[in-house]
Structure 1
Amino acid sequence: MYRPAAFRQDDLATLHTQIHACGLALLSSAGEQGLQASHLPLLLAPNEGEFGTLYGHFARANPHWRDLASGAEALVVFSGADAYVHPGWYPAKAEHGKVVPTWNYIAVHAWGQAEVFDEPERLLQLVSRLSERHEQGRAQPWAVSEAPREYIDSMLRAIVGFALPIRRIEGQWKLGQNRSRADQTGVHQGLSTSTEPRDQALAARMPIRE
């Protein structure tokens, strides 16, 4: 990932927070079947390994897991808030006109090689943890234990799990840090007053230079 100095994010705790906030990650790899990409919900175990370990599962019918089983390196992308930046939000436009549109965003990239597994009890633990994570906070959270065990067993046979220790991790917080305080304030105001939820989400993440 190209990361100008103004936008680099290397604080591991901050990167982990963004990974946890991302509901659906993009996992890509290159192997005998060429480039492949899968959209997967993942769990992060932050204290396993130097940078943490990611856990997830594929449908067994998805050939992508076979590349990971063969040792292919994987790149996992966790996307955060993003939004188009309108040039008219920069006060600099009125001063000299030397402004152009851009796109601001937050993203984390993580690399590693995965261990693939299909032991039923290990898979059960994984899907239970995934369900607990995404059901928490609901008035009546669903649990894997509510479904008939024979049905769950059949579902487990249809998936393949993996553990991916993170070997390298990078973050990019492109939030206008290279602009003047006036331009940052203008963009923040433009985004925060937008009717688009994605614009408002990015505005909430923008630092304003003192």
Structure 2
Amino acid sequence: MFLEKVVAGVYGVNCYILGDIETKKCAVIDPGGACDEILHIVNKNGFNLEYIILTHGHADHIGAVEEIKEKTGANVLAHKEEQIVLSNSQNNLTYMMGGSIEIEADRYLSDGQTVELGNLKLQIIHTPGHTPGGMCIKVNDSLFAGDTLFRSSIGRTDLFGGDYDKIIESVNRLAKLDDNLKVFPGHGPASTIGTEKLNNPYIKS
């Protein structure tokens, strides 16, 4: 499995390029910016970009979606409950960043669904709370957690569609996964499920 991170934008969003080395199919997760850098990595490694996968629809995570889609033809994937965020610039906060991005996913996903990326199987886990359709993506020993779970913290819940009780449920659902699972969040450093169970104050012991 190929994995590379690009930190993009003023809010330092972690954009991940995930690829299957054998089939040369790849996806970019949460391209909040840095289109040229992301596509350079894709092309340098000989990948074909199949998917743009959004853990949620906030402005800092979707800034480069339209440009990457236009240049590659990749399909946009998001959870079905996130349509209300993606399609409205007020809800996704792009209006606050001097622009207006309103997009529709090419494919809306559900909890428990599996997306195939070459030989990789991407398991979709619906984790509402930060937004209604927030989701995590589990691939082998890695979990792409968006803004649901951070190292020793969780995503904020005071924006459109946020719900504190739901995000607490979501992170405690994630805590039931394997302790050795690597957690790659939407911002900040990586962690593991085991580390978060020990150190994250929002996870119930």
TM-score range for the pair, normalised by the shorter chain length: under 0.3
Q: Which structure has the larger Rg over C-alpha atoms?
A: 1
TM-score, normalised by the number of residues in structure 1: 0.21
TM-score, normalised by the number of residues in structure 2: 0.21
